Amino acid sequence: MTEPFILVSDCDLPGTVIEDTLRQAGLRADRAASGSPDDIAALSADAEGLVVQWAQITGDVMDRMPNLRIISRVGIGYDMVDVEAATVRGIAVANTPSYCIEEVAAHTIAMIMSQARGLSAYDRAVRAGTWKAVDARPLAVRPSATTVSVLGFGRIGSMVARGCRALGFRVLVADPFAPADAVREAGCEPVEIAEAVARADILTLHVPLTDDTRHLIDAAALATMKPGAVVVNTCRGPLIDEEALAASLRAGHIGAAALDVFAGEPLAADSPLRDLDQVLLTPHAAWYSPEALADLPVHAAENVIRYLAGESVPIVNPSFATAR
Ligand SMILES: NC(=O)c1ccc[n+]([C@@H]2O[C@H](COP(=O)([O-])OP(=O)(O)OC[C@H]3O[C@@H](n4cnc5c(N)ncnc54)[C@H](O)[C@@H]3O)[C@@H](O)[C@H]2O)c1
C-alpha cells in the first residue's frame, strides 16, 4: 500500500519543516511550484491532505483534488479557505490555534501603548533635536482616563482586553458570541459593536475575517469615532476599509493608527499609509517569535498526520466532528 500523499500549496516560512515532519511520519509530501490553482492541481491528483498558507483554496481547487480529506492552514486565520465548500465536500479544515496567542496579544498591547504614550513621535522629536515632554503631539494619555474597545473576545482579544485592564485602561468588549458574564469577569464592559466603536479612544480588532466582517470598520464607522481616536489592527487588513482610514487620518479625524496587517501584503510602495507619521507600521509580524516560528509548521503538519490517523485535531468546519 502506498503512503498517503500530502501537498503543500505554499509557505513563506524558511526551510522545509512541514514536508520533513510529514515524511518523518511516513507520509509522502511535496510542494507546489506556486499557490496558483494550476500549480496546485498539477501535483494534487492523489493528495489526501493539503497544507496551505496564503493560496486561495476555493471549491474549484478542491474539485481538482478528488481524494482530499483534510486542509491544514499554516496559521490561525483561515479566510483563504472556502470552509463551506470544504464542508459540503466532506473535507475537514484545521488551523493552528495556539502557536502565537501571546505574541499577537503582546504586539497589540505594544502598539496600543506606543500610540497611547506617543513613543514614535517622541522618538522622532528627540532625534530631531527637541527635548520636550509637554507637547500638543504626542498626545500621551493616562490609561485610567482612556477607553480601549476590543472587538472580538476570543483567544487573542481576551488576552489583549485583560492586559489593557491590568494597565489601568477602561475596556469595552464587543463580541456577539462571547458570554457577557465572561467579559464582566475580566473587568471589561460588554457592549454592541457600534457602541464600542463610538466610545473608543483606542479601537483594536480581533475578529475573524469573513463576509460579515470585511470592512467592518468602513468610512461610516470611522465617522462615528471620537476625533483623535486611535485604530489598531493586528488581525486582518480587509477588516478595515484602508482607503477610508487613510482619508480619515489625512483629514485629522482619526488621530493615529498602528497596523500590522493590510488589504494587500506586502504593503504597496505607494500606499498613502507610508507617508503618515501618525501611523505605526509592522510587516504582518505580530505572530513572530522564534518559539512561534518553530511551532507553526510542526503544528500544521501534525494536524494532517493526526487527522489521517483518526485522532482529534482543531477542526474549524462548523458541525464537523473533530476527527473522521
Ligand atoms: N497578525 C498576525 O500575525 C496574526 C496572527 C494570528 C492571528 N491573527 C488574526 O487574529 C484573529 C483572531 O484570532 P483568535 O485566535 O483570537 O481567534 P478566536 O477564534 O479565538 O477569536 C475570534 C473571536 O471573534 C469573535 N467574533 C466573530 N465574529 C465577530 C463579530 N462580527 N464581531 C465581534 N466579534 C466577533 C468570536 O466570537 C471569537 O470570540 C485570527 O482570525 C487571525 O485573522 C493575526
Q: Using pLDDT thresholds of 50, 70 and 90, give the confidence band for residue 321.
A: low
pLDDT digits (tens, 9 = 90+) for 191-242: 999 999 999 999 999 999 999 999 999 999 999 999 999 999 999 999 999 9
Alpha helix (H) residue ranges in the chain: 17-24, 37-43, 59-63, 83-88, 101-116, 119-127, 155-166, 180-185, 193-199, 219-224, 242-251, 290-308
CA 291 to chain centre: 18
Atom of ligand 1 nearest to the CA of 153: 39
Q: What's the CA-to-centroid distance between 257 and ligand 1, angstroms?
A: 19
Q: Which of 265, 274, 291, 311 is catalytic?
A: 265
Closest protein CA for atom 6 of ligand 1: 76
193: Cβ below 6 Å to ligand 1?
Answer: yes
Active site residue 236: yes
pLDDT at 270 (0 to 100) = 96
Side by side, the strands of the sheet bearing 92-94 are 28-31, 5-8, 47-52, 70-73, 92-94
What Cα–Cα distance (Å) separates residue 262 from each residue in 109, 206, 240? 18, 14, 8
Does residue 322 carry a pLDDT above 90? no
Backbone angles phi, psi at 146, to 5 degrees: -125, 135
Does residue 324 carry a pLDDT above 50? no
pLDDT at 69 (0 to 100) = 98
Backbone angles phi, psi at 263, to 5 degrees: -60, -40
Please give the Cα distance from 104 to 98 (Å, whole number). Answer: 11
Atom of ligand 1 nearest to the CA of 234: 1
Q: What's the CA-to-centroid distance between 21 and ligand 1, angstroms?
A: 28
Which cell is 223 given?
465617522
Q: Are 205 and 76 in contact (CB under 8 A)?
A: no
Q: What's the CA-to-centroid distance between 197 and ligand 1, angstroms?
A: 17
pLDDT digits (tens, 9 = 90+) for 127-178: 999 999 998 676 789 999 999 999 999 999 999 999 999 999 999 999 999 9
Does residue 323 carry a pLDDT above 60? no
Q: Using pLDDT thresholds of 50, 70 and 90, give the confidence band for residue 93.
A: very high
Q: Are 207 and 158 in contact (CB under 8 A)?
A: no
Strands 230-233 and 28-31: what pairing? unpaired
pLDDT at 275 (0 to 100) = 96
Active site residue 265: yes
Can you tell me the mean pLDDT for 16-26?
98
pLDDT at 44 (0 to 100) = 86
Strands 202-205 and 230-233: what pairing? parallel
Does residue 100 carry a pLDDT above 80? yes
CA-angle at 188, arms to 233 and 237, nearest 5°: 10
Return the SS3 of 219.
helix
pLDDT digits (tens, 9 = 90+) for 250-297: 999 999 999 999 999 999 999 999 999 999 999 999 999 999 999 999
211: Cβ below 6 Å to ligand 1?
Answer: no
pLDDT digits (tens, 9 = 90+) for 38-67: 999 999 889 999 999 999 999 999 999 999
Burial 210-241 (b: 16+ CB within 10 A, else e): eeebeebbeeebbeebbeebbbbbbbbbbbbb
CA-angle at 318, arms to 314 and 324, nearest 5°: 55
Active site residue 284: yes
Closest protein CA for atom 8 of ligand 1: 235
284: Cβ below 6 Å to ligand 1?
Answer: yes
Atom of ligand 1 nearest to the CA of 158: 16
Please give the Cα distance from 225 to 231 (Å, whole number). Answer: 10
Percent of the chain residues past pLDDT 90, beyond the cut: 95
pLDDT at 66 (0 to 100) = 96
pLDDT at 269 (0 to 100) = 97
Sign of CA dihedral 258, 120, 169, 292: positive
Percent of the chain residues past pLDDT 70, beyond the cut: 98
Q: What's the CA-to-centroid distance between 258 and ligand 1, angstroms?
A: 17
Ligand 1 mutation target, pool 156, 192, 236, 280, most atoms within 8 A of CB: 156
pLDDT at 310 (0 to 100) = 96
Strands 70-73 and 230-233: what pairing? unpaired
Closest protein CA for atom 32 of ligand 1: 175
The residue among 183, 144, 139 whose CA lies nearest residue 160 is 183
Can you tell me the mean pLDDT for 75-99?
97
What Cα–Cα distance (Å) separates residue 287 from each residue in 15, 75, 102, 282, 295? 18, 9, 8, 11, 11
